[in-house]
Amino acid sequence: MQSYEDPQLCSVAVGLIGDICRALGEEAAPYCNTFMTVLLESLQSPVLDRQVKITIVSCFGDIAMSIGPNFEPYFAATMGVLRSAGEQTADLVSGTLDNCKWLLTVDRRITTRSSTCKLSTRE
């Protein structure tokens, strides 16, 4: 997961975390501290490909849906990350088309995953 120079490998690793959590359901809770630590650390890396970061945001939702109320210890940190990502702004006039598309993708994922995280902690 921390081979940041290989974005495809990182995306696969993040996908596996989501798959494991979905397969185990609430039984994944004991492993989530490790998963969340690695994912949150990865998001802070300036060299990690931004597409992988979007995949990580989606993985938060997978984890939250899988472990339900057990997601509560991770809720504040996750919402902080989502809030920070949501505060990113694009200068649609001088920004590149790629940056604008990326920010729209991030916005969609944040909206979807923040709702998922909120619902999962309320069960």
Where along the chain do its domains lie?
7-121
pLDDT tens for each residue of 14-72 = 999 999 999 999 999 999 999 999 999 998 898 998 889 889 988 998 999 999 999 99
Per-residue confidence (pLDDT) for residue 96, from 0 to 100: 62
CB 117 within 8 A of CB 60: yes
**Other residues' Cβ atoms within 10 Å of the Cβ of residue 22:** 13
> Please, which pLDDT band fits residue 81 given cuts at 50, 70 and 90?
confident
- Residue (of 53, 75, 48, 81) closest to 63 by Cα position: 75
